[in-house]
Amino acid sequence: MNPVLIAGCGDIGQRVARPYRAQGIAVQGLARSEARAARLRAEGIEPVLADLADRGMLKDLPTAGAMVFYFAPPPTQGERDPLIQNFLTAIDPARRPAKLVLISTSAVYGDCQGAWITEAQAAEPQTARGRRRLDAENTLRRWGRETGVPCVILRVGGIYGPGRLPVARLQKGLPILEPADSPYTNRIHQDDLARVCVAAAQRGLAGEIYNVADGHPGTMSQYFIDVAKALGLPPPPIVSRAEAEKVMSAGMLSYLRESRRLDNRKMREELAVELQYPDLAAGLAALKNTPQQ
Ligand SMILES: NC(=O)c1ccc[n+]([C@@H]2O[C@H](COP(=O)([O-])OP(=O)(O)OC[C@H]3O[C@@H](n4cnc5c(N)ncnc54)[C@H](OP(=O)(O)O)[C@@H]3O)[C@@H](O)[C@H]2O)c1
């Protein structure tokens, strides 16, 4: 069994590690702080102290024959992702991984005016956030072609689940856009995403891209309304588009400018993933058994 190395070993990385650990497979994870290293040790993951921004710390990465999961986000500024470039450049040709799985985002597609989209859709990111992710994808694909290491790209929609719901936003009573005017969003439960990552490591084909979402997109406004209801919080106030432009944050407005529905057929069929939470209602129903943050 190939050892596992996770670069960007936070929430999803730790979930991905569990089934490997349960099979007795060694898992290592990059950690850039002692606090993260301690959390990884507690999960049975051996920390490798390294910051992806510091090339000097990336010598001797334990990549030989490893199943590598790259989950670190790009920096928050600029149009490129120098972190993945640092990581790939640091891999010694004598220690090539067996395979690499990258989490990217569906933001690389840009606005599709609510259309259903497959992986054949052209990537036309409209935000710097989306362009940085596309840069990471392109850097990885180039490296995969040059080295022959199979690389798989996952274009992931909004991740949700216990501990990552908009609780603070709802408690503050921040407004949402009129549902009829609200863009579509795509969602995947955090445990299902971890399952998809493991399936991609097993069955994902070299150079392929897979959309990752539950296949039941809904409007962003309906998402906030449904989460509020599931958590027993008051429904958020509703504002018009014109009002939203005045009162919402720049970050939220950038999300409201993009609408698309992710077709997940390739994920379901080629990666043979059966989702535990096939829609938002199933994911929210399961919250009853889980404490919230
Ligand atoms: N939120 C969404 O809905 C969504 C949607 C699509 C894709 N994604 C992406 O999915 C991926 C996995 O998500 P997640 O929830 O697991 O994220 P997460 O919990 O924030 O984990 C990311 C990890 O990357 C590490 N990292 C960041 N910069 C690093 C650096 N310079 N050197 C070493 N490690 C570094 C972080 O380390 P520290 O612990 O030190 O911070 C953290 O442990 C991320 O890339 C995320 O952006 C998210």
Is the pTM for the entire model greater than 0.95? Answer: yes
Q: Is the CB of 13 under 6 A from ligand 1?
A: yes
203-238 exposure pattern, b = at least 16 Cβ within 10 A, e = fewer: ebeeebbbbbbbbbbbbbbbbbbbbbebeebeebeb
The chain-wide mean pLDDT, for the chain, equals 96
149 has a pLDDT exceeding 90: yes
For residue 228, the CA-to-ligand 1 centroid distance in Å is 26
Determine the Cα–Cα distance for residues 70 and 154; give it in Å rounded to an integer.
11
Q: Is the CB of 159 under 6 A from ligand 1?
A: yes
For residue 7, the CA-to-ligand 1 centroid distance in Å is 9
Q: Which two tokens stand for residue 116?
A: 């259903």
Q: What is residue 292's predicted lDDT score, i.e. its pLDDT?
A: 57
188-230 pLDDT tens trace: 999 999 999 999 999 999 999 999 999 999 999 999 999 999 9
C-alpha distances out from residue 35 to 39, 42, 272, Å: 6, 11, 36
For residue 196, the CA-to-ligand 1 centroid distance in Å is 17
Q: Would you list the DSSP string of 17-42?
A: HHHHHHTT--EEEEESSHHHHHHHHH
293 has a pLDDT exceeding 60: no
291 has a pLDDT exceeding 80: no
Ligand 1, residue 73: give the atom nearest the CA: 45
Pocket test for ligand 1, best of 15, 30, 71 (most atoms within 8 A of CB): 71
Q: Is the CB of 55 under 6 A from ligand 1?
A: no
For residue 106, the CA-to-ligand 1 centroid distance in Å is 15
Helix (H, G, I), strand (E, B) or coil at 155: strand
For residue 74, the CA-to-ligand 1 centroid distance in Å is 9
Question: Which domains does the chain possess?
Answer: 4-158+189-213+261-275 (3.40.50.720)
Determine the Cα–Cα distance for residues 107 and 81; give it in Å rounded to an integer.
15
For residue 116, the CA-to-ligand 1 centroid distance in Å is 27
Q: Is the CB of 51 under 6 A from ligand 1?
A: yes
Q: Report the nearest-CA residue for atom 12 of ligand 1.
A: 71
Q: Which residues contact 132 (CB under 8 A, 6 or more apart)?
A: 74, 75, 78, 79, 80, 81
> How many beta carbons lie within 10 A of that of residue 151, not counting itself?
24
Q: Is the CB of 8 under 6 A from ligand 1?
A: yes
Determine the Cα–Cα distance for residues 229 and 66; give it in Å rounded to an integer.
44
Beta bridge partners of 97: none
Mean pLDDT to the nearest integer, 239-266:
95
51-76 pLDDT tens trace: 999 999 999 999 999 999 999 999 99
Pocket test for ligand 1, best of 39, 103, 127, 187 (most atoms within 8 A of CB): 103
Give the CA dihedral 53, 17, 36, 90, nearest 10 degrees. Answer: -20
